[in-house]
Chains A and B, each alone.
Chain A
Amino acid sequence: MSANTHYLSWGRAHRFEHKPHKLAWRDSIELSNLSEPMLVQGLGRSYGDCCLNGSGTLLLSKELDHMIAFNPDTGILDCEAGVSLDSVLKLIVPHAYFLPVSPGTKYVSVGGAIANDVHGKNHHVAGTFGKHVLGLKLLRSNGELLTCSADENQDLFAASIGGMGLTGLIVSAKIKLKKALPVIDQEIIKFNSLSELQEIENASQSRYEYTVSWIDTLASGKQFGRGLYFRGNHCEHIKKSPQDYLHSNPKLQVFFDAPSFVLSEFSIKLFNSVLFHKQRQEKKLETVPYDPFFYPLDAVKSWNRLYGKQGLYQYQFVVPCDSLDFMGDILKFLQKSHQASFLTVLKKFGSITSPGLMSFPKEGWTLALDFPNRGTATLKVLSDLDRMVSDLKGRLYSAKDGHMPASMYQSSYPKLEDFSKLVDPKFSSNFWRRVNASK
């Protein structure tokens, strides 16, 4: 057993002592003699506490990273749950395949992508990651190894997609990949107000596979609601072979916890302003490899350490609204609170539903904010936001959450009761204990 027993999540605001247990070979995983509660952690990229299990057993799946089969004719990949999307891309891109859904980083495991039912810039046409999972092998703490799919053990299949690792250990999964070239025709369009954004959004949804916008939360006055809209499609022809566009490992790394002035309100304001003005023209067209398009933050290893020792809180919500009217209030509130969000991302989810019981996305707008952790002041802002989101009948994303009160969770996920019955009795997490606290 490893002597390093402190594990933290990507947000670094939660840190607990664990009993780590490495998994490596899928034929010899034995859960029965481990102490409960247990939870699996893949690459630890969840921001909050859903990948942590303080004082409990933490099953580490990083070395459970074997491919099982890849068929370049059908585009079906069968692999162990600890395989990273980074490794998947290195395998499939040369064959002109791509991930059916890409989250904002490729350094997540396949198991984690399923357990959090991650989404990407193509949610409006492709749904969530779980929508492309053909089946999975689930190991329950009683030793049962179950094959779960839409036809077999359907209830556990639905519970495991977006199930935050609570239904047992996902050992392996079969995924249907998408045939696509690894280069994107990208357009970046400046918008100067929320109504301009709404217009661009309406005009883009049906024509572009990938859409997302970045918004400058600190711009006020005439610049209120400004930002950049990114949209793109996979190229249909490329000059070189797909292999030549394969990404490389990050060359930059943050080696230490940055002091707090690095991400102050001033520097965040400056950064966002530079980001907006860097592009001179109103609309920029370019052809870019997939790596900077989908995973810009992956270029800097351990970028989360820029937020300093205190870490950060991510806050992502979805509200079932077609119009952007709610955003005005949110922006005004953020500006008044003086808790600046460094990178703020806005995306319209489509109507495709996930097979997962506890999946986060639903039709409407989703906004992702990140706040350097300034203790109670930050938590106060988060609870004020909670109230606004609840009033709009919205909900929060568990993969990013580190503070949501139990009542909010219980009232915003209608299938919680069905899900709870399917949770493995020996599995739990800090998140799960928190949102079940005052039931």
Chain B
Amino acid sequence: MQANRMVIIGATSAIATELGRIYATKRWEIYLLARSPEKLKILEDDLKARGAVATHSRCFDFAHRGNYQGIVDWASQGGCIDLLLIAHGVLGDQKASEESNELALQDFEVNFLSYMCLLNSFSKNMESKKKGTIAVISSVAGDRGRQSNYFYGTAKGAITIFCEGLRNRLFKSNVHVLTVKPGFVKTPMTAHIKQGPLFVEPHKIAEDISRAVERKKNQVYTPWFWWIIMTIIKMIPEPILKRLKL
């Protein structure tokens, strides 16, 4: 029997690593895509030791537009994709983006445009196979614009809307789309921020994602309490919100 196949885009991110480990334990075959070949090698060894039946890796830098269809062809060769995780991204510097359109565009390329192109290319493949789940890392930051990080938030919000549309389109083809909205996670991406009690370990996020994949959820806030926080924040009327320091 052929092993289940998982494809991880942005494989060296902390959340992706932990999710990969969960599926390695389940003896899946794992395709990894990330920027650094050295890190990919470390990750491949890790996942193989933990039980992955096979691993494959490929380097790609999402700061530059490239051959997205080539990625799909590589990741779907000789089989079909059971789970696709898209998890790459940069947190970006809000203040620097306000000063420079070039920088803002660069981050938007990584955080949204590459997602759009990848989802576009992968969805055609998975639609034709009529199976699989696409899990996409969005963020609670995409639920509402805030002065402290609306460049990042815009990209994440765009992902959320794009995924809604895609979910709607792929429903009839039996391909499921899961939007993941993590809160604060203790990762290298957030290492420079003061970490309060709301910060959780990446493996907790990964466990929530794997459960949401199993239960075919459309959207998951992780940890769960962000659902409450964001519901409240979304209810704040704009005339009040614009006066707040968020």
Q: Which residues of chain A have a CB within 8 Å of any CB of chain B?
A: 1-4, 22, 24-28, 63, 66-70, 77-79, 90-91
Contacts and interface: CB of A to CB of B under 8 A. Distances in A.
Contacts of B25: 90
B193 A3 contact: yes
A70 B48 CA distance: 8
A66 B188 contact: no
Contact of B49 (A2, A22, A25, A67): A67
A1 B191 contact: yes
Contacts of B192: 1-3
Interface of B: 14, 25, 38-39, 42-43, 45-46, 48-51, 188, 191-195
Contact of B43 (A2, A66, A70): A66
Chain A CB count within 10 A is highest, among B25, B42, B50, for B42
Given A3-B194, A3-B195, A67-B50, A24 B188 contact: yes
A27 B45 contact: no
Given A27-B38, A27-B39, A22 B46 contact: no
Given A25-B39, A27-B39, A28-B38, A67 B191 contact: no
Contacts of B38: 25, 27-28
A68 B49 contact: yes
A52 B188 CA distance: 22
A79 B46 CA distance: 8
A4 B188 contact: no
A91 B50 contact: yes
A68 B46 contact: yes
Given A1-B191, A2-B192, A3-B193, A91 B42 contact: no
Given A69-B45, A70-B49, 15 more contacts: A1-B192, A2-B191, A2-B192, A2-B195, A4-B194, A24-B188, A25-B39, A25-B42, A26-B42, A27-B39, A28-B38, A67-B45, A67-B46, A69-B48, A91-B51
A60 to B, nearest CB: 10
Chain A CB count within 10 A is highest, among B38, B43, B49, for B49
A28 B50 CA distance: 23
Contacts of A27: 38-39, 42
B17 to A, nearest CB: 8
Contacts of B49: 67-70, 77-79, 91
23 contacts: A1-B191, A2-B195, A3-B192, A3-B194, A4-B194, A22-B191, A24-B188, A25-B38, A27-B39, A28-B38, A63-B14, A66-B42, A66-B43, A67-B46, A67-B50, A68-B49, A69-B45, A69-B49, A70-B49, A77-B49, A90-B25, A91-B50, A91-B51
Nearest to A24: B188
Contacts of A78: 49
Contacts of A24: 188
Contacts of A22: 188, 191
What does DSSP make chain A's interface, helix, strand, loop or mixed? Answer: mixed
B229 to A, nearest CB: 19
Contacts of B194: 2-4
Nearest to B42: A66
A25 B39 CA distance: 7
A4 B50 contact: no
4 shortest A-B CB distances, which residue pairs?
A: A67-B49, A3-B194, A66-B46, A70-B49
B45 to A, nearest CB: 5
Nearest to B12: A25
Contacts of A63: 14, 188
B16 to A, nearest CB: 13
B45 A68 contact: yes
A74 to B, nearest CB: 13
A90 B22 CA distance: 11
A130 B14 CA distance: 30
A433 B191 CA distance: 29
A4 B51 CA distance: 35
Nearest to B39: A25
Contacts of A1: 191-192
Nearest to B51: A91
A150 to B, nearest CB: 24
Nearest to B45: A68
Contacts of B195: 2-4
Contacts of B51: 91
